[in-house]
């Protein structure tokens, strides 16, 4: 039987909640040539961060910007989570960026092996003949100029995986997850 957090809402006002505690706070600065995803992931590894929020982005540029956007799944219309990678090669301005660092199984790793995963949503646009678009930031998004953001560690939670998820062929898939207070 699935846990409550895995179920659809029974009422429009249903929600799940866990209370967290604020941990250490950082400002991270990335300059020309840095990969946003890889640099933030390395920062989390270097500082033993399992959970954190990424927020309060300071303006910067990206070239290229690589990200996932939701796209219709023509084979399965019920698949609301289908994503396709998009690349914007024009120099773009970061208009907003936020997200969360959380532990994720290491692809091809041993059962129980994890690494910090920066799940970053962002919006880019501005001049330079680039549209205003957004999505899930991917590896290969490179800074041009300077990008700065706050990272606030989140304490007091642990990750939960779906009740039916078993790490067979460990980390070949990354299931939706939730959290519990500790």
| Angstrom distances, CA of residue 161 to CA of 10, 68, 116, 148, 179 | 21, 23, 16, 32, 8
pLDDT at 81: 76
What is the C-alpha to C-alpha distance for residues 172 and 102, in angstroms, rounded to an integer?
17
Select from 41, 51, 45 the least CA-distant residue to 141.
Answer: 41
pTM of the model: 0.87
Select from 38, 37, 40 the least CA-distant residue to 27.
Answer: 40
pLDDT at 127: 64
User: Which residues, given as ranges, of the chain have pLDDT below 50?
Assistant: none
| Angstrom distances, CA of residue 137 to CA of 85, 113, 162, 179 | 9, 23, 24, 23
pLDDT at 111: 75
What does the H/E/C string look like for 3-70? CHHHCCCCCCCCCCCCCCEEEEEEEEEEECCCEHHHHHHHHHHHCCCCCEEEEEEECCEECCEEEEEE
pLDDT at 15: 94
């Amino acid at each position: 039987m699935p846990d409550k957090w895995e179920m659809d809402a029974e009422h429009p006002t249903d929600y799940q909640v866990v209370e967290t505690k604020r941990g250490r706070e950082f400002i991270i600065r990335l300059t020309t040539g840095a990969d946003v995803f890889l640099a933030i992931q390395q920062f989390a590894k270097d500082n033993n961060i399992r959970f954190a929020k990424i927020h309060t982005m300071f303006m910067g540029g990206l070239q290229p910007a690589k990200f996932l956007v939701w796209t219709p799944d023509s084979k399965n219309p019920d698949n609301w989570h289908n994503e396709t990678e998009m690349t914007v090669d024009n120099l773009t301005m970061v208009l907003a960026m936020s997200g969360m660092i959380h532990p994720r199984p290491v692809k091809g790793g041993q059962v129980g092996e994890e690494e910090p995963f920066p799940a970053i949503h962002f919006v880019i646009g501005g001049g330079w003949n680039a549209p205003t678009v957004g999505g899930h930031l991917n590896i290969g998004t490179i800074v041009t100029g300077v990008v700065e953001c706050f990272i606030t560690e989140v304490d007091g939670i642990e990750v939960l995986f779906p009740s039916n998820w078993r790490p067979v062929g460990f980390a070949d898939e990354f299931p939706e997850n939730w959290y519990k207070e500790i």
